[in-house]
Amino acid sequence: MAKTTDDGHHIGLVGLAVMGQNLVLNMADHGFNVAVYNRTTSKMDDFIAYCKANEPSADRVHGYADVKDFVKSLARPRKIIFLVKAGAGTDAAMNSVVPYLDKGDILIDGGNANWNDTIRREKEFKAKGIEFIGSGVSGGETGARFGPSLMPGGSKEAWKSLRPIWTKIAAKVDKKTGLELTGAEPGKPIKGGEPCTAHIGPDGAGHYVKMVHNGIEYIDMQLICEAYSIMKNLLGMKPDAMSKVFAEWNKGELFSFLIEITADILQQKDPENPRKFFVDAVLDTAGQKGTGKWTSISSLDLGIPANAMAEAVFARCLSALKEERVAASTSLKGPKAKKYAGSKKAAIEMIRDALYCSKICAYAQGFQLMAEAQHEYNWKLDFGTIAKIWRGGCIIRARFLQKITDAYNNDKKLQNLMLDPYFKKAIHKGQANWRKVVALTAEHGISAPAFSSALAYYDGYRSAVLPQNLLQAQRDFFGAHTYERVDKKRGQFFHIDWPEPGRPQLKV
């Protein structure tokens, strides 16, 4: 266990919302003395009082009402974590400590910051002699308390100082199974195992990778929702029956935190009406804070076809148009609802395969996006390691991630996850069912954008020839945008002097 240093507390944290509080307690449980500061002092007082009354490690948590006292209480190089609202709030909080820092001190942004902000901040602080780490922190409240997945980006020097704390407080994974070690309690953290953290790269790399994690989180959630929707609307299944299906799926290759909580949610009764299921009481409009949108924007900027991830964002946008949808449901016709005539058991197996194959495509898109981003931003990302630190702690933690780690360990230059022998085999095995499910959703008028766009991605990616020859010819026709030829080397561009098209004459 780390000892108290002579010249101050091991680390400081600014921002005592629930994530901040839980991260403080996690660090204290691991033997670190933590100074805490919050702009609203009463929040800090309440937290300290709560710790004293409830937490075994309360004596390692030290509250400061004055920002200067807070900074000066820290051992050097000072390390200060910020868990405040991303954007201007982060800049304001950081600027409040800057006057009291010394050269070599380290600021750590643990919020969901945009990686461009992190790149900018790192540069600005470096000019002042201050180190800056942008660290993704995933796992929600429980993760922060008992072991998150941590994705730090910044200089190697700064990482060296932070590493002892980050590796201690991160989630731990069993070396043999690749699964997260669970069972931590207040004052009794997990011992042993592989920590779910590693240095991701310089400046904004950590926050970029966290953003892609969230983009994948969006698609994982959307795929699960589509499986739920098909079971509900095509097979007429009730939430408790679907809960059993998800629980069963969770025993196999789909084993993951999100599938597990789905099984739990679906059997939950409505607290306001215990004879009904909770899920049926929740309005079908999803919120979003923006990280999925950023991932999709970045994929468009970098020219990476992450269509399934974008669909997941658009699906939330469409869900938000509740009133419009309700109105349209009475005027826009779909196919006549036919009862599904086939075997329910076989259909459930088909849906499982569709979910798994789509998931592989979605992760392939996420990793391709990171592969492109590293060129754009001069990073050198280690995809095996990224998958490895996502195996525990974070929202997308899953058995599946060990397979991704293996895939990149087997082939460091793997171009696309779908080409890895394990995943290729899985898609080959499941694709007939996946296609049937997509066809059934179209036939029955059930919206399943992630299943179908993932399939379109798969079919597009494996097509040696796409119809964009015609598209390029159209571009050359109306805009002299030139074209390449199938019988000439790449990089040579041609143009035809097209005849001026006549304006179509409307016959009156």
Of residues 195-234, which lie at the interface with ligand 6PG (CB under 6 A)?
214, 217
- Write down the least CB distance from residue 161 to ligand 6PG, Å: 24
The Cα–Cα gap between 34 and 58 comes to 10
Of 112 and 256, nearer to ligand 6PG (C-beta) is 112
Q: How many CA atoms lie within 13 A of 47 on its CB side?
A: 30
Q: Which stretch binds ligand 6PG (CB under 6 A): 51-59, 288-296, 415-423, 431-439?
A: 288-296
Task: Please spell the DSSP secondary structure of 67-110, one letter per residue.
Answer: HHHHHHTBPSSPEEEE-S-TTHHHHHHHHHHGGG--TT-EEEE-
- Write down the least CB distance from residue 343 to ligand 6PG, Å: 36
**Residue selected from 33, 291, 296, 368 as contacting ligand 6PG according to rule CB under 6 A:** 291
The Cα–Cα gap between 376 and 412 comes to 19
Say if strands 194-195 and 172-173 run parallel, antiparallel, or are unpaired: antiparallel
Cis (ω within 30 of 0) for the bond into 152?
Answer: no
298 binds ligand 6PG (CB under 6 A): no
- Write down the least CB distance from residue 135 to ligand 6PG, Å: 12
Mark whether 185 is an active-site residue: no
- Write down the least CB distance from residue 147 to ligand 6PG, Å: 12
Question: How many residues sit close enough to ligand 6PG to count as binding (CB under 6 A)?
Answer: 13
288 binds ligand 6PG (CB under 6 A): yes
**Residue selected from 138, 250, 374, 453 as contacting ligand 6PG according to rule CB under 6 A:** 138
Of residues 382-401, which lie at the interface with ligand 6PG (CB under 6 A)?
394-395
| Strand, helix or coil for residue 238 | coil
Of 288 and 409, nearer to ligand 6PG (C-beta) is 288
Active-site residue among 55, 122, 217, 311? 217
Of 313 and 446, nearer to ligand 6PG (C-beta) is 313
The angle, 0 to 180 degrees and rounded to 10, between the axes of the packed helices 421-444 and 400-410 is 130
Of residues 95-114, which lie at the interface with ligand 6PG (CB under 6 A)?
112
Of 49 and 317, nearer to ligand 6PG (C-beta) is 317
The Cα–Cα gap between 213 and 395 comes to 8
Residue with tokens 């993951």, as numbered in its chain:
256
**Kind plus residue range of the DSSP H or E element containing 248:** helix 239-249
Residue with tokens 């091991």, as numbered in its chain:
10
Mark whether 217 is an active-site residue: yes
Of 217 and 353, nearer to ligand 6PG (C-beta) is 217
46 residue type, one letter: D
The Cα–Cα gap between 373 and 215 comes to 14
Of residues 450-489, which lie at the interface with ligand 6PG (CB under 6 A)?
none
Q: Please check whether residue 139 is in contact with residue 171, taking contact to mean a CB–CB distance below 8 angstroms.
A: yes
- Write down the least CB distance from residue 138 to ligand 6PG, Å: 3
Active-site residue among 79, 210, 388, 403? 210
Of 355 and 394, nearer to ligand 6PG (C-beta) is 394
The Cα–Cα gap between 56 and 131 comes to 32
Q: Which stretch binds ligand 6PG (CB under 6 A): 182-190, 198-206, 283-291, 437-445?
A: 283-291
- Write down the least CB distance from residue 164 to ligand 6PG, Å: 23
**Residue selected from 128, 188, 276, 289 as contacting ligand 6PG according to rule CB under 6 A:** 289
Of 112 and 368, nearer to ligand 6PG (C-beta) is 112
Structure tokens at 196: 């779910």
368 binds ligand 6PG (CB under 6 A): no
Of 283 and 465, nearer to ligand 6PG (C-beta) is 283
The angle, 0 to 180 degrees and rounded to 10, between the axes of the packed helices 344-377 and 307-320 is 110
In this structure, what DSSP letter does residue 139 have? Answer: S
The Cα–Cα gap between 478 and 263 comes to 54
From residue 234 to residue 263, what is the string marking binding to ligand 6PG with x (rule CB under 6 A)? ------------------------------
Judge residue 338's burial from the number of C-beta atoms within 10 Å of its C-beta, 0-12 exposed, 13-18 middle, 19 or more buried.
Answer: exposed
139 binds ligand 6PG (CB under 6 A): yes
The angle, 0 to 180 degrees and rounded to 10, between the axes of the packed helices 115-127 and 205-233 is 160
In this structure, what DSSP letter does residue 333 have? Answer: -
- Applying CB under 6 A, which residues contact ligand 6PG? 112, 138-140, 214, 217, 287-289, 291-292, 394-395
- Which are the catalytic amino acids? 210, 217
